Amino acid sequence: MAFDYAPAPESRSLVDLRSSYGLFIDGAFVDGSGPSFKSVSPATEEVLAEVTEANATDVDRAVKAARRAYTRTWSKMPGAERAKYLYRIARILQERARELAVLESLDNGKPIRESRDVDVPLVAAHFFYYAGWADKLEYAQPQGRRGGRPPQPLGVAGQVIPWNFPLLMLAWKIAPALACGNTVVLKPAETTSLTALLFAEICQQADLPPGVVNIVTGAGETGRAIVAHPDVDKVAFTGSTEVGKAIARTVAGTDKLVTLELGGKAANIVFDDAPVDQAVEGIVNGIFFNQGHVCCAGSRLLVQESVYDEVLARLKRRMSTLRVGDPLDKNTDVGAINSSEQLAKIRELSEVGESEGAERWSPPCELPDRGFWFAPTIFTGVTQAHRIAREEIFGPVLSVLTFRTPAEAVEKANNTPFGLSAGVWTDKGSRILWMANQLRAGVVWANTFNRFDPTSPFGGYKESGYGREGGRHGLEAYLAHD
């Protein structure tokens, strides 16, 4: 390299962390009845704060508060009034954007460049977007007003989210639920509770009526208690396919409505007429964005055989420029792996890749001594039978396969139990449309990847789940259908 970058750390002092946090129930922070656990910074293993583990009694308290708020205030309020609160929250999110971005990067390990430029702006955008819908719900459903009545909310929504986009997943869940007149009990993931608790403070700052949003922290058991609670009308879950299946079993036979946003193993397909440098940027963004902790990550690269050598050479060159390290440094491209458990999973599957005969490559890169780190990695010589081509690794690991014809690309891309997303890189518009029709994926990106917008629906086929979040479609999951 001709020059190196000086460190450019974002200031930690923007965040005012408390040493311990209670649960946010009925508009106030309260003590839970269970024990507490520690939230650590994955980049340093430093303990950031103690967080409460909510048990079934705490969850019941939260659901009761949500029910009261639903019946007494929120569902009765005109949509235009609900919108004012959502707009207010959106503006506060923008005002406190830097603070939120720093806390997200501290607690999750993602680079500040991403939390600042992607996560937090999208969070605010979701609240602005759904605020706009709150007084227009009669235009959200094709059938419009029924019997002169605007569409009705469902009641109390129980929402459980993962650790990879803590605030963004919270926004995807809470903004449409509130816009439609529902109240919520939300559980953030165990390793990333802190920005959800800061969001609770923002609800207080916005004077949101008590009980409309309740945040209960905890682990799997807390999530289970929410899903199983008899007074929860709707369950919204984002996470692994395994837990998604367990949730579907729990709610089977009840009148709860469910949406599940689960895992993925997306194909990112590069044709020989693609602009190669642009495609290489898209491949890198597809798999190394957020350390590859992305359900729709382009974790299977399918390259047309005739350009394989060129694409691989340029990809390796580009990967050699990726800067791995301190998430709070503004020059960092790839941050820390979210937890030691996730790191162990990535290591294990990568070892399986090697033992099954694929060839492993990483650019030379120095990893910090403390914290959880994994170098950007690609596997070549991967076949469809390999586990690294079939299972979600959820880390910065790319499996590279090849194809000769468009039909073979489609066949290989669809040969997966998942169906969340796909990418197509080609110069031909007709081929993009043809491919998009053939690919069994909820989202198909053309000459781009990992692009999100609140107006655009997102969700899966097959084992990637059911239901859509985002856009007008995202309202459907929070409105009554009878």
Interacting span for ligand NAP (CB under 6 A) from 83-91, 109-117, 156-164, 447-455: 156-164
String marking each residue 393-432 x if it binds ligand NAP according to CB under 6 A: -x-------------------------x------------
Catalytic residue among 190, 261, 391, 392: 261
392 binds ligand NAP (CB under 6 A): yes
160 binds ligand NAP (CB under 6 A): yes
Annotated active-site residue 261? The verdict is: yes
Q: How far is the CB of 131 from Mg ion (least distance, A)?
A: 30
Out of 79, 151, 176, 239, which residue is the one contacting ligand NAP (CB under 6 A)? Answer: 239
* DSSP 8-state class, residue 394: -
User: Which residue, 36 or 152, is less far from ligand NAP as judged by CB?
Assistant: 36
Q: Enumerate residues 267-296 that contact ligand NAP by CB under 6 A.
A: 295
Q: How far is the CB of 450 from Mg ion (least distance, A)?
A: 23
115 binds Mg ion (CB under 5 A): no
Contact partner at residue 162 from Mg ion, ligand NAP, none, CB < 5 to 8 Å by partner kind: ligand NAP
Backbone region of residue 448 per phi and psi (left: phi > 0; alpha: psi in -120 to 50; beta: other values): beta
Q: How far is the CB of 241 from ligand NAP (least distance, A)?
A: 6
User: Which residue, 36 or 414, is less far from Mg ion as judged by CB?
Assistant: 36
- Nearest-CA neighbor of 183 among 207, 205, 215? 215
Contact partner at residue 39 from ligand NAP, Mg ion, none, CB < 5 to 8 Å by partner kind: Mg ion
User: Which residue, 342 or 380, is less far from Mg ion as judged by CB?
Assistant: 342
User: Which residue, 10 or 391, is less far from ligand NAP as judged by CB?
Assistant: 391
Q: Does residue 58 contact residue 33 with C-beta atoms inside 8 Å? A: yes
Distance CA 259, CA 233 (A): 12
Q: What SS3 string covers 249-301?
A: HHHCCCCCEEEEECCCCCEEEECCCCCHHHHHHHHHHHHHHHHHCCCCCCCEE
- Nearest-CA neighbor of 134 among 169, 96, 89, 95? 89
- The count of other CB atoms within 10 Å of the CB of residue 350 is 20
User: Which residue, 193 or 377, is less far from ligand NAP as judged by CB?
Assistant: 193
Out of 17, 49, 56, 246, which residue is the one contacting ligand NAP (CB under 6 A)? Answer: 246
Distance CA 158, CA 227 (A): 6
String marking each residue 174-213 x if it binds Mg ion according to CB under 5 A: -----------------x----------------------
104 binds Mg ion (CB under 5 A): no
Contact partner at residue 223 from ligand NAP, Mg ion, none, CB < 5 to 8 Å by partner kind: ligand NAP
Distance CA 402, CA 383 (A): 9
Q: How far is the CB of 276 from ligand NAP (least distance, A)?
A: 29
Give the neighbor-by-neighbor strand order of the sheet with 465-466.
Answer: 28-30, 23-25, 213-215, 183-187, 156-160, 234-238, 257-261, 465-466
Residues near 298 by beta carbon (within 8 Å), at least 6 away in sequence:
266, 267, 268, 282, 283, 286, 287, 398, 421, 423, 449, 450
Interacting span for Mg ion (CB under 5 A) from 2-10, 71-79, 100-108, 364-372: 100-108
Q: Does residue 393 contact residue 352 with C-beta atoms inside 8 Å? A: no
Interacting span for ligand NAP (CB under 6 A) from 3-11, 126-134, 235-243, 270-278: 235-243
251: tokens are 């709610």
Q: Does residue 402 contact residue 382 with C-beta atoms inside 8 Å? A: no
Contact partner at residue 263 from Mg ion, ligand NAP, none, CB < 5 to 8 Å by partner kind: ligand NAP
Catalytic residue among 295, 296, 391, 476: 295
107 binds Mg ion (CB under 5 A): yes
Residues near 3 by beta carbon (within 8 Å), at least 6 away in sequence:
none
Residue type, 284: V
Out of 166, 263, 327, 371, which residue is the one contacting ligand NAP (CB under 6 A)? Answer: 263
Distance CA 172, CA 26 (A): 21
197: tokens are 């608790």
77 binds ligand NAP (CB under 6 A): no
Distance CA 406, CA 271 (A): 8
115 binds ligand NAP (CB under 6 A): no
Q: Residue 380: what are its φ and ψ, rounded to 5°?
A: -110, 170
Q: How far is the CB of 127 from ligand NAP (least distance, A)?
A: 18
Out of 52, 115, 238, 299, which residue is the one contacting ligand NAP (CB under 6 A)? Answer: 238
Distance CA 134, CA 153 (A): 11
Q: Which residues bind ligand NAP (CB under 6 A)?
A: 160-164, 187, 189-190, 219-220, 223-224, 227, 238-240, 243, 246-247, 261-264, 295, 392, 394, 420, 460, 465
- Active site members: 261, 295
